[in-house]
Amino acid sequence: MTLLEENQPTDLEKITGLSRRGFISAGALCGAAMFLGGNLLSRSVLAASVSAGSSKMLGFNSIAAATSDTISLPPGYKSSVLISWGQPLQEDGPAFDPSGNGTAQAQEVQFGDNNDGMSLFAFPGEHDRALMAINNEYTNYRYLYPHGGMPQSAADVHKALACEGVSVIEVQRKNGQWQFVQGSNYNRRIHGNSPLRVSGPAAGHDLLKTSADPQGNTVLGTFQNCANGKTPWGTYLTCEENFTDCFGSNNPEQKFGAAQKRYGVVATSKEINWHQHDPRFDLAKNPNELNRHGWIVEIDPFDPQSTPVKRTALGRFKHENAALAETGDGRAVVYMGDDERGEFIYKFISRDKINHQDPQANRELLDHGTLYVARFDAGDSHPDHPKGQGQWIELTHGKNGIDASSGFADQAEVLIHARLAASVVNATRMDRPEWIVVNPKDGQVYCTLTNNAKRGEEGQPVGGPNPRGKNVYGQILRWQENRDDHAAMNFSWDLFMVAGNPAVHAGTPKGGSSNITAQNMFNSPDGLSFDDAGRLWILTDGDASNSGDFAEMGNNQMLCADPLSGEIRRFMVGPVGCEVTGISFSPDQKTLFVGIQHPGENGGSTFPEHLPNGKPRSSVMVITREDGGIVGA
């Protein structure tokens, strides 16, 4: 397939001259639709038949913004806690100690802190029993330690490392309600000191060798685990995001190289500060330890004895999540965002096909394949609904100018320094790519671009999918791969929504796109998920000050969108100071699991227990309908 061929419009666009947004009357399309086969009809013609404000997909009304220290839901819905930070995984395990005096050893057998992305794995053939793998992204020193400040000892660092990583838990439905099964043999913690294996092209490379691991293939720990992915072969992917913040240097004179700088290293780790008490994180002593983090890690939740594996073929950057898809010829695709201002969107395509008959046969699938990075064109200049074309550019040593002359000795270095390789090929610098998801109904790929106050500065021009300077609100980008094949090297993109505040700013761009109203407005879209029916769930991690540019938006929240009409309704508002992140559904779609992370980040919350002078605790919530129906329908 040549580049020219791939840039052609889809069949439907050729006939109708329409984009996929379908912002015209249904009647105009019907004539054209009559000529088309069933596949095309099922996607784009339906898009035009549902007008904004009348979605048949969304079975609830938008709720009001709120600033209370509770979960707010539409009438007929209820919530309860599945599990909270510090809950012991075993029946005889140490109880959560709200004083902060609990030990690192206790935390290593308790549910981790600040739950984030999560996936549910049903036991084959069972409707009421599943495992959940849940990320624990970081910890809040304010609540972790009795002193409430930065770590003051090696024991403090050890405890912080024990809070992060992943928790695997069993859940069962009893009396219609999904519950955590304390004491299950599947319950497991993988934390910042757990031994992990490194695989793929960068395993054993000199840049991954340390004095503790001269082979460069065994790493202690995974931490800063943001969001997630679930493979078709039943494994969990956990994504290491803000790993550079965990490193610093005790040598005030230390000079950092270009790659270290590009990955955001500074000598004084202002917020995490592990390096002062644990030499592993001191770049003056262990510069290569930094290169051993920032990967995607694959975990088998059904084998508690298994060693998690860092898959280096997927590249190293601040990984947000991993969205799995399949090419037309059966290979695995992983879409990934690098959550940093001006960083990139990537996709990996496996060399080999997925074996759907034998899940175990896919255990090395993510070690062999090709990494690509996205370049978007400027598109049209429509202020509300920009759209255009884009292409994927291969990040392989010896191609596209990526070689010794541009600073890469081999493919391992391309992967370890993926950001630098992507810059060589002039990939598009994005407004902080967060979650990416694939619509199960039509294969379109959606990505939250959460915000970027530096858009418009040098090297980050305004335009294309990043249409707004000093972007404080964010937008949701989507694209359709050519031929509807995830193997394609070209795609068409548009913006599904541009967030804004119509109560403060009139019109676009700061009032947001036409599907943003004073009733559903929000800022900083972050988490995303499609349910089985194709509803798009949007989770926010934004400014909850409820003032200025963010007036009347309230606390962070979860919304639900109809991808066909573009309509968005507010479904849930979280408690004070929280981020809403992490989402999963029961197989029957009657339970929605959603994460409340860092309630009371700056005080002011005792969620969820509301004990007098109690501590707020990050928690996974169970959302159901009182009538037992499908959530959102």
Residue with tokens 């199960």: 440
From first CA to last CA, the distance across the chain in angstroms is: 41
Q: Which is nearer to ligand FEO, 434 or 567 (CB)?
A: 434
CB of 305 closer than 8 Å to CB of 168: no
Q: Which is nearer to Ca ion, 226 or 631 (CB)?
A: 226
Q: Count of residues for the chain?
A: 633
Does residue 272 interact with ligand FEO by CB under 6 A?
no
Shortest reach from residue 356's CB to ligand FEO, in Å = 31
For residue 245, the partner it binds in ligand FEO, Ca ion, none, with Cβ less than 5 to 8 A by kind, is none
Shortest reach from residue 355's CB to Ca ion, in Å = 32
Shortest reach from residue 567's CB to ligand FEO, in Å = 26
Shortest reach from residue 433's CB to Ca ion, in Å = 10
Q: Which is nearer to ligand FEO, 121 or 435 (CB)?
A: 435
Shortest reach from residue 46's CB to ligand FEO, in Å = 32
Q: Is the CA virtual torsion 302, 539, 476, 458 positive or negative? A: negative
Name which position in 113, 164, 241, 300 contacts ligand FEO (CB under 6 A).
Answer: 241
Shortest reach from residue 221's CB to Ca ion, in Å = 20
Q: Which is nearer to ligand FEO, 230 or 331 (CB)?
A: 230
For residue 241, the partner it binds in ligand FEO, Ca ion, none, with Cβ less than 5 to 8 A by kind, is ligand FEO
Residues forming the site for Ca ion (CB under 5 A): 434, 526, 541
Does residue 137 interact with ligand FEO by CB under 6 A?
yes
CB of 530 closer than 8 Å to CB of 438: yes
Q: Name the amino acid, one letter, at 272.
A: I
Give the three-state DSSP class for 495. strand
Q: Which is nearer to ligand FEO, 217 or 321 (CB)?
A: 321
Does residue 326 interact with ligand FEO by CB under 6 A?
no
Q: Which is nearer to ligand FEO, 89 or 449 (CB)?
A: 449
For residue 431, the partner it binds in Ca ion, ligand FEO, none, with Cβ less than 5 to 8 A by kind, is none
Q: Alpha carbon of 385 to those of 94, 370, 561: distances in Å?
A: 54, 32, 16
List the one residue out of 158, 159, 141, 157 whose CA is nearest residue 149.
141
Shortest reach from residue 141's CB to ligand FEO, in Å = 17
Q: Which is nearer to Ca ion, 213 or 431 (CB)?
A: 431
Residue with tokens 């700013």: 505
589, HSE (Cβ side, Cα atoms, 13 Å):
13
Rounded Cα distance, 441 and 624, in Å: 24
Q: Which two tokens stand for residue 175?
A: 């009396």
Name which position in 226, 324, 476, 578 contacts ligand FEO (CB under 6 A).
Answer: 226
Does residue 339 interact with ligand FEO by CB under 6 A?
yes
Rounded Cα distance, 433 and 570, in Å: 22
Give the residue at shortest CB distance from Ca ion. Answer: 541
Which residues make Cβ contacts (< 8 Å) with residue 488, sequence separation at least 6? 1, 6, 392, 481, 482
Shortest reach from residue 239's CB to ligand FEO, in Å = 8
Burial label, 221 (beta-carbon count in 10 A; 0-12, 13-18, 19+)? buried
For residue 213, the partner it binds in ligand FEO, Ca ion, none, with Cβ less than 5 to 8 A by kind, is none
Shortest reach from residue 226's CB to ligand FEO, in Å = 3
Rounded Cα distance, 554 and 548, in Å: 12
Shortest reach from residue 322's CB to ligand FEO, in Å = 13
DSSP structural state of residue 548? G
Name which position in 434, 481, 562, 567 contacts ligand FEO (CB under 6 A).
Answer: 434
User: Reading across the β-sheet that carries 591-597, which strands appear in turn?
Assistant: 77-84, 619-625, 591-597, 579-585
Residue with tokens 């790993």: 243
Q: Which is nearer to Ca ion, 199 or 450 (CB)?
A: 450
Rounded Cα distance, 101 and 156, in Å: 10
Reading phi first (left if > 0) and then psi (alpha if -120 to 50, else beta), residue 453 is in alpha
Name which position in 282, 320, 367, 567 contacts ligand FEO (CB under 6 A).
Answer: 320
Does residue 531 interact with ligand FEO by CB under 6 A?
no
Contacts to ligand FEO by CB under 6 A: 137, 226, 241, 320, 339, 434
